[in-house]
Amino acid sequence: MVGMASGELGRQPSFQDTRDLTPFRGAQVYSPVHGIGRRIAHRVAGRARAPRLRPFAPKVERQVHSAVFAYGEPERLVLLARAYPGWSGLCYIMAGLHAYRLHHHAQAAELLSRGLAGTSEPAASAFASGYLGGVRHWIEVSEGVEVEVLFSEEGVCLALAHSLREIGRPEEAIGVLAQLPPSIPSALASCRIAEMLGRPHEVIARTQGLTNASDLAAALLVLRARALRELGRRDEAHAALREALRRRRTAFTVKNAATTERALLMLGVGRPGRHRLRNSMRPDAPSSAFEELRVLTQARRARDAEARELWLRDFERLERGAEE
């Protein structure tokens, strides 16, 4: 799936969205210093005002409505998915989005995967179109870049891809993103994961012909410049950075990242010649920054694995309670 999607990039850029209507409603670019405050704000803002129930709604509709809008607890929706198999797909998806909003990525990845693979009867689909059309979620597509997405399959897949990236499963995240239609947010998410996997050629192919029309496009241009720098294509990297800095209203955080990349280019970081020289001089001594990043990544994955194990244990207990 990944290889096929990459092979089609030459015919249609992955960022070229020709749709009249999209589920994206906004974007925010911020520095890591402000990330904690934004998380708290998004937890509060993520709870939309509950639409009024229609008269004489059936019991399952009332229960799902209450679980989605009144409580916001994934466990309630998981129990409803077990009790009503025809609603399992919708209930698991909403439970996964609640877990995602709480930054429980291991739980969110499990629930969203079950929801996308589950079934939804016509009544559940009617509930989604009637009550969830105005629900919005903030989804992270790259470090420091979030998009506001209406409830849709596209938003669910972006949230699932982010959770998979956070728990150390980037290959699966790439597979999820490959199913989405072309758009700047999905291209940014895909290029960030491709960069993590050490695939600069894929990043360059996905961003061919991109211009700085928005903050998301500028952030994508910075990733393109970084990939070109890693391959030693300095002139093209400079061109990408000039385009990222061209628009006056580009977010300061993106401009700062572009300026940093330009400084690295001037220092010659990433050129093949210097890379070989450094490796020949110090073959067994990785840089301290990369070593520190590796240790932090291993610690985070260990915490995520422990959290997932605890959640699966609680989930099995809930299943046994529902069966009794």
pLDDT, tens digit, for every residue of 224-235?
A: 999 999 999 999
* Inter-residue contact 260 to 254 (CB < 8 Å): no
**pLDDT tens for each residue of 200-210:** 999 999 999 99
Dist. CA 197–CA 223, nearest whole Å: 13
Cα separation of 253 and 83, whole Å?
Answer: 47
Distance in angstroms (rounded) separating the CA atoms of residues 205 and 6: 8
Under the banding of pLDDT at 50, 70 and 90, the label for residue 80 is very high
Residue pLDDT, tens place only, 153-206: 999 999 999 999 999 999 999 999 999 999 999 999 999 999 999 999 999 999
pLDDT at 12 over 60: no
Predicted TM-score (pTM) of the model is: 0.77
**Overall average pLDDT of the 92-109 stretch:** 95
> Contact 225/237 with Cβ under 8 angstroms?
yes
Give the pLDDT score at 228. 95
Q: For residue 146, what are the CA distances in angstroms to 63, 180, 262?
A: 31, 17, 24
**Would you say residue 5 has pLDDT above 80?**
no
pLDDT of residue 292: 59
Residue 20 is predicted with a pLDDT of 84
CB neighbours (10 Å) of residue 163?
29
In this predicted structure, the answer to whether residue 305 has a pLDDT above a threshold of 80 is no
Which band of pLDDT confidence, cut at 50, 70 and 90, is reported for residue 286? very low
Average pLDDT rounded to a whole number, residues 259-283: 63
Q: Please say if the pLDDT value at position 215 is more than 70.
A: yes
* Separation in Å, CA 159 to CA 62, 104, 125: 26, 12, 20
Average pLDDT in the 87-94 region?
Answer: 96
- Cα gap 86→89, rounded to integer Å: 8
Residue found under tokens 């700047």: 184
pLDDT at 302: 74
Residue 17, pLDDT > 80, answer yes
CA distance 22 to 16: 12
> Would you kindly state where each structural domain of the chain is located, as residue ranges?
207-291
**Mean pLDDT lowest among 46-50, 87-91, 225-229:** 46-50
Give the pLDDT band (50/70/90) at residue 11: very low
Which pLDDT value is given to residue 71?
Answer: 81
Picking from 161, 179, 139, 197, the residue whose alpha carbon sits closest to that of residue 23 is: 139
258 Cβ partners below 8 Å, 6+ apart?
Answer: 218, 221, 222, 225, 241, 244, 245
Residue type, 18: T
Mean pLDDT across the chain:
82
